[in-house]
């Protein structure tokens, strides 16, 4: 890496991280304003609000990285253009391709930081943040859905109304069907305690055995239950799929497919995580032709406006394509990659025009 390349890399990293810090602060201010509406509810004070902001910040950090890379590179390369530094570099023998390569080298560092935060820190912090909000009134997660959480395992349907902080379940209903798709047994338990190795213990049970001839009711104190549904899997089902790591998403997608359930939403989130590093590189590629190809003298505000328009436009298109994919059951990898590939094609075309 020569001196000029190293200089471009350092400056873009500096600009991108400053942009990221400013955007993160702005988003946290909005979140803080929203959380103030819950101040005082169930012991939810300022300390808890700031802790909640700290827990959600890694996820916001990860999501803002592509936009920050775009804004930072537009600002830094634009300043270099206005200060005639790019002209001096090109006069010294640095080609347009070399400038773009230096920009992408900075992207490698940004992507590495993004993956580290997004995969190792953000998922656990986001789960903890959700538990913090959910346990304000007690140490248990009460599911927001009116009918609780529904899970299917082979020929068994399980309804869970609440999940305790330690992973145990409360107010569980289990419905078993036979090979002819007829309900033959229902089980309701006040609590389910996880024993490990796919073993649960149901407590205070009421069972109903259903047949054509009669219906029989049974009451039991305890009953063992073997199920592949573990507490960590239940926590995955409760958390927003967009906040899960690639490993957790892959695990839950496999579970849904094994039990013949719709997994498109989680597959789309999975491929969205895979494509996120590519989006950062594309945003950096987009910035180069807009700076090199636009005449000097454009203000910082003008360049920032360009970045905001491009970033918001891409985000809107990406979400529209994602929702259409879910509605019409399109291929999740195709839906996840399509907006990025279109933007990559436009950026490549613009770079060729500049060269």
Domain assignment present for 249? no
**Range 144-168 average pLDDT:** 75
DSSP SS3 for 160: strand
Nearest alpha-carbon partner for 158 in 141, 177, 138, 175 = 175
- Per the model's pLDDT, the better-predicted residue between 26 and 329 turns out to be 26
Q: Are residues 10 and 131 in the same domain?
A: yes
Same domain, 107 and 10: yes
Confirm whether 242 is domain-assigned: no
**CATH classification of the domain holding 180:** 2.60.450.10
Asked whether residue 248 is domain-assigned, the answer is no
The answer to whether position 245 is within a domain reads no
82 and 178: one domain?
A: no
The answer to whether residues 119 and 190 belong to one domain is no
The predicted pLDDT at position 140 comes to 46
Residues 326 and 256: their CA atoms lie apart, in Å, by 16
Query: Is 58 found in the same domain as 205?
Result: no
In angstroms, the Cα distances linking 7 to 1, 76, 89, 110 are: 10, 11, 11, 16
Choice between 252 and 56, residue whose per-residue pLDDT is larger? 56
Same domain, 16 and 54: yes
Q: What pLDDT sits at residue 106?
A: 94
- Tell me: do 12 and 94 sit in the same domain: yes
Tokens (6 digits) for 225: 């239950």
The mean pLDDT of 84-89, rounded to a whole number, is: 84
- Structural domain range at position 169: 155-227
Cβ–Cβ contacts within 10 Å for residue 260, how many?
9
Place of tokens 């140490």: 139
Shared domain check, 350 and 212: no
The SS3 of residue 156 is strand
Last residue of a domain, one of 205, 227, 249: 227
Domain count of the fold of the chain: 2
Nearest alpha carbon to residue 193 among 175, 218, 166, 154: 166
Whether residues 14 and 103 fall in one domain: yes
Is position 142 within any domain? no
Domain shared by 132 and 159, yes or no: no
Q: Averaged over 96-108, what is the pLDDT? A: 90
Q: Within 10 Å of residue 324's Cβ, how many Cβ atoms?
A: 11
Q: How confident is the model at residue 287 (pLDDT cuts 50, 70, 90)?
A: confident
Residue 255 lies in a domain: no
Last residue of a domain, one of 227, 250, 280: 227
Is the pLDDT at 198 greater than 90? The verdict is: no
Q: 3-state class of 53 per DSSP?
A: helix
């Amino acid at each position: 890496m020569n001196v000029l390349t190293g200089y471009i890399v350092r400056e873009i990293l500096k600009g991108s991280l400053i942009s990221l810090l400013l955007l993160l602060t702005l988003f946290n201010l909005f979140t803080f304003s929203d959380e103030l509406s819950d101040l005082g509810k169930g012991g939810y004070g300022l300390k808890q609000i700031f802790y909640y902001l700290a827990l959600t910040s890694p996820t916001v950090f990860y999501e803002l990285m592509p936009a920050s890379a775009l804004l930072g590179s537009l600002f830094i390369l634009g300043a270099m253009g206005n200060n005639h530094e790019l002209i001096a570099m090109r006069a010294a023998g640095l080609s347009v391709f070399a400038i773009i390569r230096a920009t992408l080298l900075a992207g490698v560092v940004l992507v590495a930081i993004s993956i580290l935060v997004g995969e190792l820190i953000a998922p656990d912090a986001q789960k903890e943040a959700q538990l913090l909000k959910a346990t304000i009134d007690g140490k248990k997660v009460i599911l927001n859905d009116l009918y609780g959480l529904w899970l299917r395992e082979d020929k068994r349907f399980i309804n869970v109304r609440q999940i305790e902080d330690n992973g145990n379940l409360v107010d569980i209903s289990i419905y078993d069907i036979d090979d002819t798709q007829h309900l033959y047994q229902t089980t309701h338990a006040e609590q389910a305690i996880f024993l490990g190795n796919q073993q649960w213990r149901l407590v205070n049970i009421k069972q109903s055995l259903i047949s054509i001839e009669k219906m029989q009711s049974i009451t039991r104190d305890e009953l063992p239950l073997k199920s592949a549904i573990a507490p960590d899997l239940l926590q995955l089902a409760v958390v927003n799929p967009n906040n899960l790591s690639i490993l957790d998403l892959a695990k839950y997608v496999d579970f849904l497919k094994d039990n013949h359930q719709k997994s498109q939403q989680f597959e789309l989130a999975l491929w969205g995580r895979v494509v996120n590093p590519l989006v950062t590189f594309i945003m950096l590629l987009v910035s180069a032709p807009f700076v090199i190809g636009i005449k000097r003298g454009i203000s910082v505000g003008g360049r920032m406006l360009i970045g905001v328009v491009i970033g918001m436009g891409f985000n809107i298109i990406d979400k529209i394509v994602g929702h259409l994919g879910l509605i019409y059951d399109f291929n999740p990898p195709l839906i996840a990659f399509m907006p990025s590939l279109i933007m990559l094609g436009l950026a490549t075309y613009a770079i060729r025009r500049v060269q």
